């Protein structure tokens, strides 16, 4: 069996990109870990009022406190962290949708690097998942505003407010509207 050099290169790129994310980036709970937990863990350990095993994964300090089995993470030591042990063993999450090797590498690196957060955690947390400031900054959560419509001379070929908004962006690039095409 002959192995394609392209296949070897793609596998190498994939492995190095996962490793560089896990090692080279400053991993934070909000940006890197919460999305993994939201996909795999929060249904049982965050979204509901009653958390399975009394383990709440919504805040780092709650993970350090742990649940019925003890602390979920041991900051700086992924090998001693119950969360990492259970994910490695395939025990968690239950079901068929498991954490990918890349996601596990990110979790391990985050715990090893000190389980950092992007900002101080709140003193208390309400029920449910809530929305983080990073998630709230997404464009679709911004209030709807009516833009100021620029004005142009009559010969600028502006017929609608959208034409005016487009022309405002085109003019700094030295662009404008073309003349109307013939109807024939």
Do 135 and 150 belong together in one domain?
Answer: no
Secondary structure class of 96 (helix, strand, coil): coil
Domain span at 57: 5-121+131-141
Do 110 and 166 belong together in one domain?
Answer: no
Compute CA 160 distance to the chain's CA centroid, rounded to the nearest angstrom: 38
| Confidence band, pLDDT 50/70/90 cuts, at residue 181 | confident
Do 91 and 11 belong together in one domain?
Answer: yes
Mean pLDDT score, 81-100: 94
Do 90 and 164 belong together in one domain?
Answer: no
| Confidence band, pLDDT 50/70/90 cuts, at residue 58 | very high
Domain count, the chain: 2
> Looking at per-residue confidence, does 124 or 145 come out higher?
145
| Confidence band, pLDDT 50/70/90 cuts, at residue 8 | low
Do 164 and 91 belong together in one domain?
Answer: no
Do 12 and 103 belong together in one domain?
Answer: yes
Do 110 and 23 belong together in one domain?
Answer: yes
How large is the greatest C-alpha to C-alpha distance in the chain, in angstroms?
79
Please list the residues that pair with 67 across neighbouring strands.
Answer: 70
Residue 13 has pLDDT above 80, yes or no: no
Structural domain contains residue 184: no
Please state the φ and ψ torsions of residue 126, each to the nearest 5 degrees.
-75, 180
82 Cβ neighbours under 8 A, 6+ residues apart: 66, 69, 70, 71, 72, 73
Q: Please answer whether residues 116 and 128 qualify as being in contact, where contact means their C-beta atoms are separated by less than 8 angstroms.
A: no
């Amino acid at each position: 069996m002959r192995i394609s050099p392209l296949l070897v290169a793609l596998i190498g790129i994939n492995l190095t990109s996962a490793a560089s994310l896990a090692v080279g980036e400053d991993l934070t709970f909000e940006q890197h870990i919460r999305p993994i937990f939201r996909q795999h863990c929060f249904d049982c350990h965050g979204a509901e009022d009653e958390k399975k095993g009394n383990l709440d994964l919504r805040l780092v300090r709650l993970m350090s406190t742990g649940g019925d089995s003890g602390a979920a993470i041991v900051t700086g030591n992924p090998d001693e962290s119950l969360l990492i042990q259970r994910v490695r063993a395939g025990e968690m999450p239950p079901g068929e949708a498991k954490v990918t090797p890349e996601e596990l590498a990110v979790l391990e690196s985050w715990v090893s690097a000190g389980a950092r957060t992007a900002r101080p955690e709140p003193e208390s947390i309400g029920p449910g998942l809530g929305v983080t400031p990073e998630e709230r900054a997404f464009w679709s959560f911004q209030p709807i505003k009516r833009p100021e419509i620029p004005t142009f001379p009559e010969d600028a070929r502006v017929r609608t407010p959208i034409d005016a908004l487009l022309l405002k962006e085109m003019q700094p690039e030295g662009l404008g509207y073309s003349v109307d095409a013939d109807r024939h």
